[in-house]
Structure 1
Amino acid sequence: MTQTDPDRPADRPADRPGGQTVDVDLLRRISRRVLWLATAIVDAANRRKDPTGVKVGGHQASSASMVDIMVALWFSELTRFDRVSVKPHASPVLHAVNHLLGDLDASWLPTLRSAKGLQSYPSRTKDPGTVDFSTGSVGIGATAALWAAMAHRYVRSHVPTAPEAGRFVSLLGDAELDEGAIWEAVADPAVASLGELLWVVDLNRQSLDRVVPDIQIERLQGMFAAAGWQVVTLKWGRVVSALFERPGGAELRRRLEAMPNEEYQRILRVDTSEVVERLLAGGGSADLHALLGSLSPAHLASAVRDLGGHDLGLLVDTFREVDTHRPTVVFAYTVKGRGLPTEGHPNNHSVLLNEAQLGALAEACGATADDPFAPFPAGSPEALLCAARGRALRREPVTPSGHVDVPTSLGRPHRSVLSTQASLGRLLADLVRDAPATAARVVTCSPDVASSTNLGGWINKTGVWAVRERRDWFADDAERVLRWAEVPTGQHIELGIAEVNLVGLLGELGATWSRWGERLIPVATLYDPFVSRALEPWSFGIYAGGQSILVGTPSGVTLAPEGGAHQSITTPSIGLEQPGCVAWEPAFGQDLEWCFLHAMSRVGVPGGTSAYFRLSTRPVDPALARLPDDPALLERRRRQAVAGGYRLSTHDPAADDVTLVGVGAVMPEVLAAADTLATAGVTAGVVCLTSADLVFRSFQQRGSRAAGTGSAVCDLL
């Protein structure tokens, strides 16, 4: 990809409020109300009567450190085109912001962490207010915005009339930078071109159990810079920065920046009268003594707390000035528990304010504990700004694009002895010719295994996607079988070998129908043994509403010559256990075609579902499938295949002495076993499953009142 994209909508000055003046005092009053609401939301959740005695919990301190950052964004900078991922523990802040903007009724605020109430972590599919990304899985939610930016670029390059997008913002805690998924995504070469990305790190230097030892900011800054990101650091606010310019100020700055995180946090907890003594514990020049002596204890204590992540004016100016031609990360220094009695305490992660503390906070924030969710007075500057920003951020409902009829069959005979992996390659290549409208919505991706998972024919016909066309230096090489043409109209996205990135992108490609109304049918291939490596972000994408098809191939022991590390024996259960997904393992090429087309019809639509296909490189003779010649019987077989399975034996099931049930590449052995039993006088029925998942579900439905037709295979056993 190239480094810039002039068509990127994040640069539209008409939509971004950069030219407007900011009333910082007004923002500060709103910030105090957001702090109060977020704290009160958690408090209400823990005051509910719970007969089980189970702890409800919440994160008042973790929310507090994010308040100013989120107020600067929502009440000054964001547009309706922007999409924001909010760190998990700041969900009460997001709920508070949505309430003030008129996007969440007050009746929801006491329902945090209750059944069908506000979610403990932002949920795109379950929360009643606007949530752009689900972020319950630490680290994964932050990268979701990154992959959404890439997915939107893909959509716009193929459908120019698709809705525009602005910035893709991720608000993440500094502890999330411990997650490997973060760095796998940041390091992908394609990401360096995504100038619409803005990450803001809540650098409060605390994790769940402790103040993080040592100062790691330089290492983190260097890692982002090495990946091509613009790095901005907001360490100090403008009040203390003014002190740094006075005689002795440079020494004060050196003293503050040289102290360990733990020492700084301790200074925040002492009485204001002790701050001078602690700052001068190592001595100091006459200028430093004079500077500190000129300040009242309260002023000095306030100045020491004046971090960049809490300076609303500085935050707004920074967000407006970032370079939008490359991704940007802003390290915003904050204090965990900012404005709360637990501010800066090393064990404040799950601490809840008591009744007296809550009352004092309400008074400080201009609220009342007796009516915690009361609105701003009608006509007040705060109420007017909230209403104006609510109107500016309101989005029209997403209207899905035109319907695409996915064929039930391509109608081509399957006579060659092929593996299901090879049959998939043939299916995708044939789709371009036989069902072009469907093929136009398909996008494939792989972690550097496109050719070895049989995507070569598809790539030769559709090309590889890139923001701008790149010269193919091997275009004149007659010996090359795979044509690697990188063009904006390509329909294959090639990533590095990080499977976590693959499924992260897959989930967001599968969400474009609900974000921008444009349906895609994303198909990702990877070696089946590595499905377990990709499991968490794959599950996250499905949970967050993404619909896609994941193909694990080769599976089983067909890669046995490469050693045990390339064998997959546990993935069948992974597919069966994954909610929101149907697991398939067809044995024959015709079954693969039917089931795959059926799965495609269920992707990118309201009420749709994801699919996982476990394929093999073992060639299987299609004659073993005993396909009927009669069109009506063939259609009956297709319906049985997409329902989960069918009976291969032709005799009456009542005559079975035993029934053999097989799935996938072992069907030749199952049929051979039936023949062996027949020579011994044992009548064996044979059932071929295409989806043990669907069969299990049909068994569950039998005898229940649950909706659903179930699988006809239940009547054949």
Structure 2
Amino acid sequence: MTTATPFGDRAESRGSDPYGVLGEVEDRLLWLSSSIVHHANRVRPNPSGLKVGGHQASCASMVSIMTALWFRHLRPQDQVSVKPHASPVLHAINYLLGELPQAYLPTLRELGGLQSYPSRSKDPDPVDYSTGSVGIGATATIWGALARRYVRDGADAATRTGPDDAATSGAESGSGAAADGGFAGRQYALVGDAELDEGAVWEAVLDPAVAGLGELVWIVDLNRQSLDRVVPLVTADRLRGMFAAAGWQVLEVKYGQVLEELFTRPGGDALRARLDAMTNAEYQRLLRCAPQELRSRLPGTGPGAAGITGLLAELADEELVGAVRNLGGHDLAMLDSALSAVDDTRPTVILAYTVKGYGLPVQGHPQNHSSLLTQEQMDQLAEQLGCDSAQPWADFAPGSAAAQVCAATAARLRRDAPALQPPPALPTDIGRTPTGSGTTQAALGRALLDLTRQAPEAAARVVTVSPDVSSSTNLGGWVNKVGVWSVAERTDWFADDPETILHWREKPTGQHIELGIAETNLVGLLGELGATWSRWGRPLLPIGVLYDPFVQRALEPWSFGIYAGGQSILVGTPSGVTLAPEGGAHQSITTPSVGLEQPGCTTWEPAFAIDVEWTLLAALARLGRPDGESAYLRLSTRSVDQSLAAVPTDPAARERRRRQVVAGAYPLRRVAGAEVTIAAMGAMVTEALAAADRLAAQGVAADVVCVTSPDLLFRALGSRTGQDPDAAGWILDQAFPLARATPLVTVLDGHPHTLAFLATIHQVPVRTLGVTRFGQSGSLEDVYRYHGIDADSIIRAALDLTR
């Protein structure tokens, strides 16, 4: 009969442990993390009956790793990204270090309590990185490392001081405290092996900028299980090869001291070979076996079976059960040794073999991912670990050796809160009125260059990022002006080539960062550049530029960056079906409504160059501050006659127009006796004005309103009912006054639902025009006609409403 051993003997599996006091801390962290989840699910009242959730098994596999890292190697300048499902272990550590009041321990996943996953912005205790979305926590350390280097080495490095300038503190032996390869502070990522299935991880690992980041240390919790199953193949060899090919140092912590000692005995070589060749599923099955069945299964049927059988005969039952579980990821001495061997000249990954649910009755079970211990099992666990179920949150006794270790660690890791530098002062209007014909895409680069002349201190804080599209998004002039950021200066071999227009000068003081073609990498870096104000008190003004058709690839990680406190500007250009010859392969339909749906973000879609300048300056002014927010600008490659903007020449009237542009809309044309209003956004303003002219020839007077931000208008509408009391409700009275309420035609180069809500301002009849299907290649006129957003379509809609 097969029976699972309820608990592996942790003391036995440690063998002769010179880390006895740390073992006490390790046990207490296992107990506290299990209790945090247990209380949330089985103790706290739950009237709705909805599953609360939590992951005791995922915590258990990480306890040893996190004990070794925090209590032996971590320094105050280091930062750690903790895998999402191990958040209770992080909170337990913070509790033992005095960084989390005991009252929070029973509040996992409770309103106002501990978040489901580590959160920089919402958890009450110190959290370095928000994690939760698979892959983002790991890659965030890459972008955090780049952001820290940029803060240290960027354009105004001479004036910057802070944690990166401080001397490294004295950590325990082997922590790399003496030299960090030219940087201060490592970036650790604690990653589950299943998390490495996320493709964005490898997009980031393979970016050329990563190979030189010696501060990166990833520790992979190689428990060989995912949510539903045991991972079928042995993936360690593949992972080792992939990281090594990317230039990483690869360290492996496979077996613990008990097994390593057994391997030296007669039959030990055969035992090692047997375990090395064993599939994940077969090994996991051994974890569920009673001693007698282990003696039968473990030797196998190969040529070394007899030697293994003889070796196992030397072991008592408890020794055998402990030996099978004795993996390196649960051996504090082996982990200590691996962390001490980190090479600071290149990124490092440590493959730490673990057992999911280690030390719990569910250890190694293929469906233990979300399993919860019963009260009886918690009582047994408490007895095994020397804890008390009746007092689950008990700390170590004052003066005990474990309490002293915690106190010493807390003192070593204490950080001073960064002194927040105020964001740079920004003008609201540079004062130039564009003339001639131009695109909003080109206006972005021009506005950035104007900023270097009008507000150099603010311009010095701007950092642009793009995925190999700098020239095609009109950033060439800016890049030529400020240079390209690089860890070290590199020779520009085309500097003397007279036919070279884009000068690629790479240097540590450059302000443009070029990544490979991977939008997730771009927004990952953007989020970390946008978080430097809260991490180190050094606000930057980051702007990421990519093709608008690919914004949706970037939205999920960008949204997560905003959630984590990153404030940045994302620019999508070219946009819509206005890039007519590209057809359905390159078009964006839903991006105009991004701001309506994304918390912490405002969207603007300017129609004219002056609108770009004003909205860009407004967006920059909202970055790098506790009350700040991100922005998304949707720009076009369509050339527009700038005189159509009719920018007022009177200074007061010009300022009024600017405020309207920034607030979301402005009246572009008012006519006497208007029978219909055309509300147009972005590139479609030209069609709206042309349609208004032709309607006038038919005796139909039409007002034209230029919408610059649908989500600000939606917020303004919510202010009327108290849903968003802080919104600028006045803009509705100026752009859509009640006295001029008429039937409404809305038109944009995107999905028509974006502006449909405008009809509810005064409950007027409406026709919504936009793009609702995949496009065709063709001329601009043909494509607009195909989608029904041309002047003819606007006229027909207006006549339907008025005649």
Q: CA deviation at 1:648?
A: 1.6
Contact 2:271 2:299 in 1 (8 A): no
Contact 2:423 2:624 in 1 (8 A): no
SS at match of 1:573: helix
Contact 2:547 2:572 in 1 (8 A): yes
Query: Structure 1: which 5+ residue stretches go unaligned?
Result: 1-21
Contact 1:694 1:711 in 2 (8 A): no
1:683 aligns with 2:701: yes
Match of 2:34 in 1: 39
Contact 1:644 1:692 in 2 (8 A): yes
SS at match of 1:637: helix
Q: Could you tell me the TM-score, scaled by structure 2's length?
A: 0.85
Match of 1:180 in 2: 199
SS at match of 2:725: coil
CA distance in 1, matches of 2:373, 2:32: 13
1:467 aligns with 2:484: no
The 5 Å alignment of 1:162-201 reads 162-164=162-164, 165-201=184-220
Contact 1:44 1:110 in 2 (8 A): yes
CA distance in 1, matches of 2:51, 2:309: 49
Match of 1:664 in 2: 682
Q: CA deviation at 1:287?
A: 3.7
Match of 2:470 in 1: 450
CA distance in 2, matches of 1:281, 1:167: 43
Contact 1:647 1:713 in 2 (8 A): no
Match of 1:202 among 221, 239, 252: 221
Q: CA deviation at 1:568?
A: 1.1
Match of 2:123 among 112, 119, 127: 127
1:492 aligns with 2:512: yes
Q: CA deviation at 1:572?
A: 1.1
Match of 1:505 in 2: 525
Contact 2:445 2:476 in 1 (8 A): yes
Query: Structure 2: which 5+ residue stretches go unaligned?
Result: 1-16, 165-183, 737-803
CA distance in 2, matches of 1:559, 1:71: 55
SS at match of 1:534: helix
Moved more, 630-639 or 162-171: 162-171
The one-character-per-residue Cα deviations of 1:216-268 (angstroms, maximum 9, x if unpaired) are 21111101000000001111011110110111100011111111111111111
Contact 2:667 2:705 in 1 (8 A): yes
Match of 1:98 in 2: 94
The 5 Å alignment of 1:640-655 reads 640-651=660-671, 655=673
Contact 1:528 1:554 in 2 (8 A): yes
Structure 1 letter corresponding to 2:663: A
Q: CA deviation at 1:649?
A: 2.2
Contact 2:422 2:625 in 1 (8 A): no
CA separation of 1:406 and 1:93: change in aligned 2, threshold 3 A: same
The one-character-per-residue Cα deviations of 1:445-501 (angstroms, maximum 9, x if unpaired) are 100000000000001110001111100111100111111110111000001111111
Q: CA deviation at 1:431?
A: 1.3
Moved more, 115-124 or 399-408: 399-408
1:25 aligns with 2:20: yes
The one-character-per-residue Cα deviations of 1:411-433 (angstroms, maximum 9, x if unpaired) are 11211311000111111112112
Match of 1:257 in 2: 276
Percent identical: 62
Match of 1:535 in 2: 555
CA distance in 1, matches of 2:299, 2:422: 70
Contact 2:423 2:625 in 1 (8 A): no
Contact 2:214 2:345 in 1 (8 A): yes
Match of 1:114 in 2: 110
Match of 2:648 among 604, 611, 628: 628
Structure 2 letter corresponding to 1:229: W
The 5 Å alignment of 1:587-626 reads 587-626=607-646
Q: CA deviation at 1:713?
A: 3.1
CA distance in 1, matches of 2:435, 2:652: 20
Match of 2:240 in 1: 221
Match of 1:16 in 2: none
SS at match of 1:51: coil
The 5 Å alignment of 1:417-432 reads 417-432=437-452
CA distance in 2, matches of 1:414, 1:121: 49
The 5 Å alignment of 1:38-437 reads 38-47=33-42, 48-158=44-154, 159=157, 160-164=160-164, 165-282=184-301, 284=304, 286-437=306-457
1:525 aligns with 2:520: no
How much is the aligned-residue C-alpha RMSD, in angstroms?
1.3
Q: CA deviation at 1:97?
A: 0.8
SS at match of 2:516: coil
CA distance in 2, matches of 1:279, 1:329: 30
CA separation of 1:711 and 1:701: change in aligned 2, threshold 3 A: closer
Structure 1 letter corresponding to 2:704: V
The one-character-per-residue Cα deviations of 1:501-554 (angstroms, maximum 9, x if unpaired) are 111111101001100111110001100000011121111111111000000000
CA distance in 2, matches of 1:280, 1:615: 67
CA distance in 2, matches of 1:433, 1:28: 61
1:638 aligns with 2:638: no
Moved more, 409-418 or 36-45: 409-418
CA distance in 1, matches of 2:281, 2:381: 26
Contact 1:155 1:162 in 2 (8 A): no
CA distance in 2, matches of 1:546, 1:597: 18
Match of 1:19 in 2: none
Q: Could you tell me the TM-score, scaled by structure 1's length?
A: 0.95
Contact 2:129 2:564 in 1 (8 A): yes
Contact 1:139 1:182 in 2 (8 A): yes
Structure 1 letter corresponding to 2:317: P
Contact 2:593 2:711 in 1 (8 A): no
CA separation of 1:416 and 1:400: change in aligned 2, threshold 3 A: farther
CA distance in 2, matches of 1:207, 1:556: 40
CA separation of 1:341 and 1:371: change in aligned 2, threshold 3 A: same
CA distance in 2, matches of 1:288, 1:350: 35
1:549 aligns with 2:569: yes
